Amino acid sequence: MNEKVARGKQIIDELVNILSDLSDPQIAQLLGKGEVSNILKAILDETKLHQYPNIAEFLLDNKNRAHLLALLRYVITRNYSFKGTKEGHTAFVTPHYNQWIDDGVLFLEGEKPWEGLLGLYRKGQLSYAVASRDVKAGESFDEREFFVFVSAEDARERLRQIPPKVTSLDEPLNELNGLLNTREADEEKYHSWFKKYPWAFGLAYQTFQDLRPLDDKSIPDFTGIRHDGSRDIFEIKQPFLELFREDGEFRSEFNEAWNRAERYLDFTRRNEHYLLQEKGMRFSNPKCHLVAGYDLSDEQRKRIGIKERSTPSIEFRTYNDVLVLVSSVISFIKRVKNSDLTEHLEV
């Protein structure tokens, strides 16, 4: 046997024993900083593809290396999507490649392996991700900003709070699309839509209340009452308001709306006790949702993203984002309503 091959086998045997004995945090310390990528690259270095006249020649010259990588994928795909059942429902639960929650684990759950809803299990509680932002094809995004998590239990409770007059769960999405497709520019009609369907905005709000002054000068479009009784602020502009000048800078209308949002947040923080005692409005770590714009360019979205990161308590959403959020909420509620979620699957 070739000396290198024999040495490699010995090292692999030692590594297998080491990996088996390491704790879960130690595994991350050993292999979590790019070492797995280095190992795969050592098996087959894709950067050498340009040295060959075509892909077939590259694969032929590295037949065994390519086969090993394909075999790794096959083994992982077959063995590491875990099938479970509960109350007659069957689903597959699969590890997610991105784990940004320190005290929880993210996974995919669906009818097929490696597909389905993004779930989060944390502190004994199970919740599922609802998409809250519009992402264009090929656009990179931070998943932490793209999802909100809602438990199936909360969703079922909030499902019972949807007014009986809402005859179809698709009703809010159809109405909002109708306003956008006709290029409706009356801001009040969008205010009415939000107040009519508070549950559609991420299942986070019991109701929206409008024109309740914080003081004589601070009158937000409306406040959203969260399920814990605290409030967030909403500043809603019509979608076709021009937000950018021809030179790419923000127009005064955008700056005025942003400054107003900052002023409202500052007032609620400084006057939390007054607002509760005198106005009966509870604010605890409030956010301001600023909704404006439709079909913005990639560059315009990036400009707003930079401004958002400088003021995390202001969440800016375009109407494209609102459409994605509402559509995701409706799909999630339908799954909850049809009992398609299989919380705490058993092997």
Q: What is the pLDDT of residues 64-86, one digit of tens each?
A: 999 999 999 999 999 999 988 86
pLDDT score at 89: 75
Q: Across the strands, what pairs with 223?
A: 209, 233
pLDDT score at 91: 82
195 and 318 both lie in a single domain: yes
179 and 37 both lie in a single domain: no
Residue finishing a domain among 79, 105, 127 = 79
Domain count, the chain: 2
DSSP class of residue 289 equals: E
pLDDT score at 196: 87
How far apart CA 293 and CA 242 sit, in angstroms, is 7
- Residue 143 covered by a domain: no
Please tell me whether residue 177 adopts helix, strand or coil conformation. helix
- Residue 335 covered by a domain: no
- Contact call for residues 289 and 235 (beta carbons, < 8 A): yes
Residue finishing a domain among 63, 79, 95 = 79
- Residue 19 covered by a domain: yes
List the domain range (segments joined by +) for residue 240.
164-323
Best CA proximity match to 203, nearest among 290, 332, 343, 313: 332
- Residue 129 covered by a domain: no
Best CA proximity match to 244, nearest among 293, 291, 180: 293
pLDDT score at 195: 86
- Residue 209 covered by a domain: yes
- Residue 341 covered by a domain: no
Phi, psi dihedral angles at 46 (to 5 degrees): -65, -20
How far apart CA 27 and CA 50 sit, in angstroms, is 34
pLDDT score at 13: 92
pLDDT score at 60: 96
- Residue 282 covered by a domain: yes
174 and 49 both lie in a single domain: no
Phi, psi dihedral angles at 126 (to 5 degrees): -110, 130
How far apart CA 290 and CA 255 sit, in angstroms, is 12
DSSP class of residue 200 equals: G
pLDDT score at 198: 84
- Residue 284 covered by a domain: yes
- Cβ neighbours for 141, distance < 8 A, ≥ 6 positions apart: 133, 135
184 and 316 both lie in a single domain: yes
65 and 169 both lie in a single domain: no
Other CB atoms closer than 10 Å to residue 146's CB: what's the count? 17
Residue finishing a domain among 53, 79, 105 = 79
Amino acid letter, 67: H
pLDDT score at 214: 61
169 and 285 both lie in a single domain: yes
68 and 168 both lie in a single domain: no
Compute the C-alpha angle 128/132/133, nearest 5°.
140
231-236 vs 288-291, strand pairing mode? parallel
- Contact call for residues 334 and 200 (beta carbons, < 8 A): no
Please tell me whether residue 184 adopts helix, strand or coil conformation. coil
Collect the ranges in the chain with pLDDT lower than 70: 1, 86-87, 132-146, 158, 161, 164-167, 211-218, 337-347
> What CATH number corresponds to the domain at position 235?
3.40.1350
Q: Output b/e per residue, 61-93; b: 16+ Cβ within 10 A.
A: ebeeeeeeeeeeeeeeeeeebeeeeeeeeebbb
300 and 174 both lie in a single domain: yes
Residue with tokens 């945090």: 25
